[in-house]
Amino acid sequence: MAFAPAFSGDPSRAEEARERLRAARAFASRGNANAETMAWLDAVEAEVETRFGDPRRALALIHHAEKIYNEHDSDSHPSPEWFDWFSPVRLAGFKGNTLILAGRGREAHETLEQVLSVLPDADAKQRSIYLADAAAAAVLEKNPELACRYLEEALDLLAHNWYATALDRIKSVRQTLTQWDSIPPVRELDARLYDWHTTVSSLVG
């Protein structure tokens, strides 16, 4: 519930988001939540704090999440079955995105490359998101050719595993490439991005 005010982009709603996170932590503690759950709450709060302009606080939360995740004992204190989507890999994905929003392209790129190298093949939709994030990191490093390669790979995945959220992320990264509009990789990306298949898929997806 904290994401709604955080993603609104309205600074006046920062306290609303933080209040919801405090409530979530209180309920989690009351329910004797394990380290994995608390690491996830750290990751959520990190994204919220980044959205409200405090990347230092966000990265501290990510580092804390990594620390307590390493202490997680899944045998003695397992997570609920429905929580199987969160993992150290997903936490690293949160970290990569936080580093991007903090303007730390090189670290974000290294983190996301590690994520992509170990992400299961079955997580095709999530891979398309991480590829778009890796492209955003490449833009921060002033490497438009690499950014385009990541985005092309993400579009390859979308052709078989449609995910509207990923297409939105790809388009957002493309907007950051405007100073390189004239180079061939960006023009080729545009041709791919706006071809009829992608357009139709975006309308029906």
Res. 2: pLDDT tops 90:
no
Percent of the chain exceeding pLDDT 70 equals: 87
Averaged over 142-169, what is the pLDDT? 94
The string of pLDDT tens digits covering residues 94-117 is 899 989 988 999 999 999 999 999
> Rounded to an integer, what is the distance from CA 82 to the centroid of its chain?
20
Res. 128: pLDDT tops 70:
yes
pLDDT of residue 71: 78
Burial of 178 (0-12, 13-18, 19+ CB in 10 A): exposed
Res. 118: pLDDT tops 90:
yes
The string of pLDDT tens digits covering residues 57-98 is 999 999 999 998 887 666 567 777 777 778 889 899 989 998
Please give the Cα distance from 173 to 180 (Å, whole number).
Answer: 12
The phi and psi torsions of 80 (rounded to 5 degrees) equal -60, 155
pLDDT of residue 138: 98
